[in-house]
Structure 1
């Protein structure tokens, strides 16, 4: 595969092998109506720039200033009961106390990560496919505690084999349409396996050929490409391979990451793509 991204035909939203704190993907096409919320969230800012979020996933906070719905769903091991976990107030942090009360004395798994954009692009347990015959595992709902704005919250702690997908998306870029995506990762949680991704790929759970995926990778895998130092690096997973820049293998301009929380961005258009990142 060459370094520039080729046509990416079939898309799904996917979260696999990543420790995500707040996730959102935004197409770079379409009309935007900026939110009128008093406090802007990340997706209000995207909408204000004419690139509205078409999928907005977070278990820790609202990504819109006026969002007052569910962030995610948990399932309790003792009786398989489920509960939606929302926000403390519109535009605010997650109601971790509600999760703690519901899950007291039992283990809870995250079963759904809701799309806050209103397009219904929710993430659920990834089914089996070409890389794995059976379904992926679900994340332990209490394994990634953090503090958001002075409030306790839980990120998505993804150990090897954990993954979420949506194969029937609404409004997400397909083919070689322009798109962008960002994720906030725990910069201390990574490994060298493939692949630690958030973004778009095929809708049938299979590898359908080169250039048919565009996702953010975070880790220190160097089988296909690498950046400066020993990693971890932000790279683009473009199927088939991880790419750290214009050169197919090594790109010194892609630095190793040491941030506690990392903002990672991949954006693309026909024959062009870019990697960006920084301290979250």
Structure 2
């Protein structure tokens, strides 16, 4: 347990009714709490109800991704002092059916699915968006319901007596409010929260059914298990990801290491900034003590613009620090989880292959995005095309370098054969500084290639998925609107 920190407001975006909306991305250390007794919130056995819409794919089994009534101070004050709804893979009372996640009731000192905890009728729901419902009369009974927030009705998983273990009949709620933590402020779990309500009284089934119908009508859409935005992973030796030690806490001096890639790990998503820095969870990849010697370790530190925080992707796949003239390196080419990274003389070996997949989408004709064919593989010669925008697609995140190149998956947007003729197709290729890899944003929204004097173009203004892109005489048409974020 520790002090809570707020979520990154732009960490997770989905759509509702076709409009972009943001959720709250909860990772270890993130949480919200109202300390004290909130006005209108149930206390000492009063009835209440709550629901939330949360991710069924960004989930964990640690304590606790809760929303609802909790202790008025961050301490476990005993059974029945909480009344919060949770969605997690926590099987607190075995047996459980399947692998979850399950909608559960955190009533303090237990994640309950039935009267004594276990309830094999609760089969869980792993939909991208899950409606989780809890109501409690505070005296003898409670109910748990859940459903897919995108379609269908609620399923009742429990409607019966409160736990028979001591302290729950009646309840002893204290009227605090939590989101993303447990009653004692345990903040080690993860989840994604989109909306929620707490109400006084014991809601009717009809009211809950109406709420679910309204949620479905909103039309939630999108992927909820990965953070989005301008960040991308930095893939290193052995296919591991550049990671910050200690699960998304990211204090100054935190070790930067290799670890298995985890789509939900906030501290594995890095933004390559215009000043050359690489940042995650609010801090920058930094060389200890702004050092320049072989073997100097790298860490996370407040972004401060020093030379030890500048990183330039090289054509051979390495990340070079200009101040030291050395490259990010895994000692002796190690690939084990927890391998602490360092700088070392640039040598082009596998120990120094770190591919920055950061950047941001390039908006293209027809509301599509600039995309690389073949789902994030990105070999030399891969077609560059139009495709539906996908926040999780690494090959739709492009970084505009100071030399004018546009990079994704460690390679550059390239004109085939360094050509200059109308109709020459574009592709992905090793970054090499050639004129066919220089792209300048113009005020009319076009991307201009100075060497050819032509612009990136969608043939005949096509907007279908898979449309292969080319260069063509600049004409200011919609077919040439490619806007850098």
The question of whether the paired residues in 2 share the 8 Å contact of 1:226 and 1:244 is answered with: no
Question: Normalising to structure 2: TM-score of the pair?
Answer: 0.30
Question: 1:151, 1:165 → 2: CA distance?
Answer: 29
Size of the aligned set, in residue pairs, is 147
The counterpart of 1:239, out of the listed 99, 108, 111, is 108
Question: Normalising to structure 1: TM-score of the pair?
Answer: 0.51
Matches within 5 A, 1:74-153: 132=1, 134-153=2-21
Shift of 1:224: 3.4
Query: Structure 1 runs of 4+ off > 4 angstroms?
Result: none
Q: Does 1:182 align with 2:182?
A: no
The question of whether the paired residues in 2 share the 8 Å contact of 1:212 and 1:238 is answered with: yes
The counterpart of 1:160, out of the listed 9, 28, 32, is 28
Q: Does 1:277 align with 2:157?
A: no
The structure whose Rg is larger is 2
Matches within 5 A, 1:34-45: none
Matches within 5 A, 1:154-233: 154-168=22-36, 169-225=38-94, 227-233=96-102
Report the equivalent of 2:131: 263
Q: Deviations over 1:197-255 (max 9, x none)?
A: 0011110111111111000111111233563111110110001111111243x311111
Report the equivalent of 2:121: 253
Question: 1:276, 1:156 → 2: CA distance?
Answer: 22
Return 5+ residue gaps in structure 1 as ranges. 1-131
SS in 2 for 1:157: strand
Return 5+ residue gaps in structure 2 as ranges. 150-485
Question: 2:64, 2:42 → 1: CA distance?
Answer: 21
Q: Deviations over 1:20-69 (max 9, x none)?
A: xxxxxxxxxxxxxxxxxxxxxxxxxxxxxxxxxxxxxxxxxxxxxxxxxx
Question: 2:81, 2:63 → 1: CA distance?
Answer: 17
Q: Deviations over 1:103-130 (max 9, x none)?
A: xxxxxxxxxxxxxxxxxxxxxxxxxxxx
SS in 2 for 1:211: coil
The question of whether the paired residues in 2 share the 8 Å contact of 1:226 and 1:233 is answered with: no
The question of whether the paired residues in 2 share the 8 Å contact of 1:225 and 1:244 is answered with: no
Shift of 1:150: 1.0
Structure with the bigger RCO (C-alpha within 8 Å, sep 6+) is 1
The question of whether the paired residues in 2 share the 8 Å contact of 1:225 and 1:242 is answered with: no
Label 1:156 to 1:225 Cα distance change in 2 as closer, same or farther (>3 A).
farther
Q: Deviations over 1:148-207 (max 9, x none)?
A: 111111100000121001123111111100000000001111001011100111101111
Question: 1:226, 1:149 → 2: CA distance?
Answer: 39
- Between stretches 220-229 and 231-240, larger displacement belongs to 220-229
Question: 1:213, 1:152 → 2: CA distance?
Answer: 34
Q: Deviations over 1:1-30 (max 9, x none)?
A: xxxxxxxxxxxxxxxxxxxxxxxxxxxxxx
SS in 1 for 2:15: strand
SS in 1 for 2:86: strand
Higher helix share: 2
Question: 2:43, 2:58 → 1: CA distance?
Answer: 30
The question of whether the paired residues in 1 share the 8 Å contact of 2:92 and 2:112 is answered with: no
RMSD of aligned Cα (Å): 1.3
Question: 1:182, 1:135 → 2: CA distance?
Answer: 26
